[in-house]
Structure 1
Amino acid sequence: MNNKNNKIPFNEDNYTHNINRNNERKLDRRGFMKMLAGAAGVFAVSSLPWGALAAKELTGLSDKKYPKHKIADLQSLPVGDAVDFAFPGEHDSAILIRLSENKFVAYQNACTHLRCPVFWKKDEGEMICPCHHGKFDVKTGEPIAGPPRRPLPEIHVKVENGAVYAVGVKRYEA
Structure 2
Amino acid sequence: MDQGQKGNIPFDEDNYTHNIHKDNERSLDRRSFMKLMVGAAGVFAVSTLPWGAIAAKELAGFSNKKYTAAKITDVSDLKVGEAMEFAYPGKHDSALLIRLGEDEFKAYQNACTHLKCPVFWSKEQGEMVCPCHHGVFDPKTGAPTAGPPRRPLPEIILEREQGVILATGVKRYET
- TM-score clears 0.5: yes
Which residues of structure 1 form unaligned runs of 5+?
1-18, 20-35
Report whether the alignment pairs 1:55 with 2:56.
yes
SS in 2 for 1:158: strand
Q: Output the aligned Cα RMSD.
A: 3.1
Cα offset, 1:55, TM superposition:
2.2
Q: Deviations over 1:103-138 (max 9, x none)?
A: 110001111112111111112211111112111111
1:13-43 Cα shifts (integer Å, max 9, x gaps): xxxxxx9xxxxxxxxxxxxxxxx99998888
- The 1-side partners of 2:113 and 2:122 are apart by 18
Instruction: Tell which structure's C-alpha radius of gyration is larger.
Output: 1
Q: Aligned pair in 2 of structure 1 residues 129, 38: CA closer, same or farther (>3 Å)?
A: closer
- Confirm whether residue 167 of structure 1 aligns to residue 168 of structure 2: yes
Segments of 5+ residues of structure 2 without an aligned counterpart are 1-22, 24-36
Q: 1:155 to 1:43 in 2, by over 3 A?
A: same
Residue 136 of structure 2 corresponds to 135
SS in 2 for 1:127: strand
2:148 and 2:44 mapped to 1: Cα distance? 41
TM-score (ref. length: structure 2) = 0.71
Q: Tell me the SS of whatever aligns to 1:111.
A: coil
Alpha-carbon distance change, 66 to 40 in structure 1, aligned in 2, over 3 angstroms: same
| Superposition deviation, residue 95 in structure 1 | 0.1
Partner of 1:84: helix, strand, or coil? strand
Q: What is the percent sequence identity of the aligned residues? A: 68
Question: 2:29 is matched with which residue?
Answer: none
Matched, 1:95 2:118: no
Distance 1:50 1:159, change over 3 A: same
Q: What is the count of residue pairs matched by the alignment?
A: 155
The reply on whether 1:64 has 2:65 as its aligned counterpart is yes
